[in-house]
Amino acid sequence: MKTVERLKRWKETGAITGAQFDTIAAVVRKDRFSVFIELNVLLYLGVLFFIGGLAWTIQTYFASLGDAAIIVGLSAILAASLYYCFSRAAAYSNRQVESPNIGFDYVLYLACLVLASELAYIESRFQLLQENRDYYLLFSAFLYFVFAYRFDNRLVLSLALSTLAAWFGLKISRFGLDSIGSVRAAAIGYGVVVAGAGAWLSRQGIKKHFLEAYLHIAANVLFIAFLSGVLEKERLSFYFLGLLAVSAASIGAGIRFRRFAFLVYGTIYGYIGISAEVLLRVAPDLIGALVYFLISGAFVIILIVVLARGTGRYE
């Protein structure tokens, strides 16, 4: 009896499920199957490990290698990576452009990380900007945005947005506004700026498919900022109202544009904020709190399922 026939018998007797049968049978028959996700994960990890090894080498042997050798070496890697990207990329278009191959995006990501490493090394060794070192972050964010749009790369776009957020934070600390309230206000400002910039660029017809990346980052930053304010009793009302407004907007946008992730953002963050409000105001005992979470948690799960069916798309 052949292996596939045995698998069929096991499926008929209930020893394995239909999904297990399909998976094992495909391997036995040597059918082709996609390893696209696995390859992308390996490439991403490979870039991170390479950068990690590069940083370790510089930190361990910079005294024997010398500044010139390290800077020249990093510049060579950067130049080679950028040459590869510019020589193989398709012409710029405001519409979505496919990458020429699976490794292209990660070569570009490597170039961005090498650039960050080189700038960090130059500043640590020569302290060219000193107190104005936050401009390294601003300069890096600008270049990342240029690369992201030129090569249609959402991974680099996320890097640009996170670098811009770091610049916001460092700029706030430079002015001595490093309190929790100041950081929270900067986070709200950053979220509004990012969401507004993404919406404006989308309306101009410039890389419309980038809008979701802007909104994902902006939504999470705004939710975290407002939620952290909700947990402070003295500023509960303003941040609570802000959290409810952002939650409603996120759920409404998720339903309208069929984006399940934004439904989850609005529902989960809103639920946490409302729960904090209830528990801080009512202050129930342990049994009361458990009953509240059991009932409200079940309601939230049912709500997410209903909303998910309404969107017609799972992300």
Report how far apart, in Å, the C-alpha atoms of 85 and of each of 26, 88, 111, 147, 151 are: 37, 5, 9, 10, 8
Residue type, 120: A
Q: ∠ CA(65), CA(71), CA(73), 5° rounding?
A: 75
Go through 70-85 and write b for each residue having 16 or more CB atoms within 10 A of its CB, e for each that does not.
beebbeebbeebbebb
232: left (phi over 0), alpha (psi -120 to 50) or beta: beta
Residue type, 239: Y
Q: Concatenated DSSP letters for 127-173?
A: -SSGGGTHHHHHHHHHHHHHHHHHHT-HHHHHHHHHHHHHHHHHHHH
Beta strands in 261-304 (DSSP E): none
Phi, psi of 219 (to 5 degrees): -65, -45
End-to-end CA distance of the chain: 42
Write down the pLDDT at residue 311: 60
Are the C-beta atoms of residues 246 and 240 closer than 8 Å to each other?
no
Write down the pLDDT at residue 205: 94
Hey, what are 235's tokens?
Answer: 């500023």
Domain ranges for the chain: 34-178, 179-315
Burial, 30: exposed, middle or buried (Cβ in 10 Å; 0-12, 13-18, 19+)?
A: exposed
CA distance linking residue 233 with residue 98, whole number of Å: 49
| Prediction pTM value | 0.79
Residue type, 47: V
Contacts 24+ apart (CB under 8 A), 295-300: 296/271, 300/267, 300/268, 300/271
Question: What is the residue-level pLDDT of the chain in tens, covering all 315 positions?
Answer: 467 677 777 777 777 777 776 777 666 565 555 565 667 778 888 888 988 998 888 888 877 888 899 999 999 999 999 999 999 999 999 999 988 888 899 999 999 999 999 999 998 888 888 777 788 899 999 999 999 999 999 999 999 999 998 888 777 766 555 567 778 888 888 999 999 999 999 999 999 999 999 999 999 999 999 998 888 765 556 888 899 999 999 988 888 888 888 989 999 999 999 888 888 777 667 777 788 888 888 888 888 887 776 665 444
Q: Concatenated DSSP letters for 192-244?
A: HHHHHHHHHHHHTTS-GGGHHHHHHHHHHHHHHHHHHHHTSGGGHHHHHHHHH
